[in-house]
Amino acid sequence: MSESRPSLGLSLLPIGILVLLLAADVIAFGEDSSYGSNQMALLLGSGVAVAIGMARGQKWSHFEARIKETLGDAIGAILILLLIGALAGTWLVSGIIPTLIDVGLDVLSREVFLPAACILCAAVSLATGSSWGTVGTVGVALIGIGQALGLGEGWIAGAIISGAYFGDKLSPLSDTTNLAPTVAGTDLFTHIRFMLWTTVPSIAIALIVFTMAGLGSGGGEADLGGAAVMQAELAQHFNLHWALFLVPVGVIVLIARRVAPVPALFLGVLGGAVAAAIAQPQLLATLAEDALGPALGLGTTRLGTAFTALMAAAALDTTIETSNPVVTDLLSSGGMAGMLNTVWLIICALTFGAVMGAAGFLERITQAILTAVHGTFSLVFGTAFSSVVFNIIAADQYIAIVVPGRMFREAYQERGAAPQLLSRTLEDAGTVTSVLIPWNTCGVAQSGVLGVGVLAFAPYCVFNYVSPLMTLLVAAIGFRIPKPENADA
C-alpha cells in the first residue's frame, strides 16, 4: 500500500463522479431512482475510488477487507429493517395499525395533526432512544391517519421524522447520544444538558411551522370523503379493539427498558401474529385463500390458514382489498420483501463509504477542512460541515459522527473549546441530517418504512434543517460556549 497522501483533488474525484451520476439518475428516473439506478451509481463511484487506490499501489484485498468490516457492522441495522417490514405486515393483518388509525381519526383533526404527530413521536423516541423504532411503529400508523385526513405525505413524514430525531438526540438510551460524547471526550449527561440550548429552540420552531401548516390546510373534509368513510371501511374488514394496543405498548416498553432492538422487534412480530390469530381469524382465512394456501394445501384447517396468511404477511406483499382504492392503498404492507430494496441501497452506500475510507480519501478531505479552521465559530462550522459531508459521501450517520469527532477533538483542545461543544455539534449536524440524504442508510431506511421517498419528505423535516443552523447561530453569537475547565456549564 502506498504511503503517500492522496491529493485533495484526487480524493474528491469519486465524489464528483458520484454526484453527477446521482443527479442523472434523479433526472432520468425521478423518485424511482432509488430502485436500482442509485445503487449502480454508488457501485460505479466505488469502482472509481478502488481504481484510483490500486493505481496508487493499494491492493484489492485491502479494499475487500474494509468492505467486509463495514458491512459486518451493518448487519444489526439490516436485521432491524427486515423485522420492521415483518412487524408492519403482522400488525396490519392483526388490526393493530387499523385500530391505531381508527382511534387517531377520532381524536385528531387535520388542523392539529402535524404538531401532534411531531410531539407524539418525540415522546416515544425520547422514551425508547430509537428514531428507527419510533418511525417503524408509531410512524407507520400516523402515516395512515394523516393520509386519511387528506394531508400531504411529505408534511406527514416530515412531522414524524422531526419528532423522532428530536427524541433520539436527547434520549440517554440512544446510540448516537452515547456515541457523540464518547468520541468527543465528555460525559453523557453533560452532553445532553448542553444540547438543550440548541435542540429545544429547534423543535419549538418546527412545531410553529407544523402548526401553521396545519391551520393553513383548512378544516374541510379529507380526501376520503371524511373520517367516517375511512372508519366504516376499517370496521368492515377488521375487528377493532383497544386490547390490540397491548402489542405496540409492549414493544415500546421493551425498548425503553433497554432491550436490544432486534429481540424487541422480533417479539413485536410474534405479538402481532398472535393478535391476528385471535382477533382476525376470518381475515386470515380470506388472505390464505388468496395467497399460498391453495397452492400448498395448507388452507384446509384454521391453523393452516393462520400459518399461511401470517407467513405471507410477514414476508411478502399484503393488501386488504376495499371498495375505496385510497383505503386499499393505506391497508397495504410489503413485509420483509418490501425492505429488500432498502437493504440493497444500504449495502451499496456503505460499500462506497468503505472504499473511500480505505483509499484514505475521507481523512484527506477532513484534513483539508481543518486547515481553514481558526476561531470558535469556524471550528464549529468546520465540524458541522464535515458531518454533513460525511453523511453524503460515507452514507452513514455513525461515520459522520466518529470520523469528524476523531479529527476535530485535538483541534478543540488546542483552541480551548470544551468537548461538549464538539459532541453537541456532531449531533446537531451529523445525527439529524443523515435522514435527508437519499442514499444515506437513515434516509433509505425511513423512506422504506414510511413508503415515502426521501426527496418527497426531506423539504418538510423542519427540525432536521433548523438544528444544524441553530448550532451555527449559537456559536456565531458566542452564547453558552464553555471552556474545558468549566465543562459543566
Q: What DSSP state is assigned to residue 336?
A: G
- Whole-number pLDDT of residue 80: 78
What is the distance between the alpha carbons of residues 110 and 113, in angstroms, rounded to a whole number?
5
Q: What is the value of pTM for the model shown?
A: 0.69
Alpha carbon separation from 117 to 243, 267, 468 (Å, rounded): 22, 25, 22
Contact (Cβ atoms closer than 8 angstroms) between residue 50 and residue 14: no
Between helices 60-73 and 340-358, what is the axis angle to 10°? 140
Which of 479, 471, 295 is CA-nearest to residue 381?
A: 471
Q: Which three cell numbers stand for residue 105?
A: 381519526
What is the distance between the alpha carbons of residues 116 and 179, in angstroms, rounded to a whole number?
29
Contact (Cβ atoms closer than 8 angstroms) between residue 276 and residue 90: yes
Residue 450's H or E segment, with its range, is helix 441-450
What is the distance between the alpha carbons of residues 438 and 22, in angstroms, rounded to a whole number?
10
- Whole-number pLDDT of residue 424: 92
Burial status of residue 375 (CB atoms within 10 A of its CB: 0-12, 13-18, 19 or more)? exposed
Contact (Cβ atoms closer than 8 angstroms) between residue 34 and residue 349: no
As a whole number, the mean pLDDT across the chain is 81
Length, in residues, of the chain: 489
pLDDT tens, residue by residue, 378-411? 889 988 988 898 788 767 777 788 778 777 777 7
What is the distance between the alpha carbons of residues 222 and 109, in angstroms, rounded to a whole number?
10
Q: Report the amino acid identity of residue 106.
A: D
Contact (Cβ atoms closer than 8 angstroms) between residue 427 and residue 463: no
∠ CA 81-86-88, nearest 5°, is 95
Q: Report the amino acid identity of residue 305.
A: T
pLDDT tens, residue by residue, 333-387? 778 888 787 788 778 877 887 888 888 887 787 778 777 777 788 889 988 988 8
What is the distance between the alpha carbons of residues 375 and 145, in angstroms, rounded to a whole number?
48
- Whole-number pLDDT of residue 127: 60
Q: Alpha helices, DSSP H only, in 316-431? A: 325-330, 340-358, 361-370, 376-393, 397-414, 419-425
∠ CA 381-384-389, nearest 5°, is 120
Out of 10-14, 160-164, 325-329, which region has the weakest mean confidence (pLDDT)? 325-329
User: What is the distance in angstroms between the CA of the first residue and the CA of the last residue of the chain?
Assistant: 46
Q: 319 - beta bridge partners? A: 332
pLDDT tens, residue by residue, 156-200? 999 999 999 998 888 876 777 877 887 788 887 788 889 999 999
Contact (Cβ atoms closer than 8 angstroms) between residue 364 and residue 5: yes
Residue 332: phi and psi, rounded to 5, are -130, 145
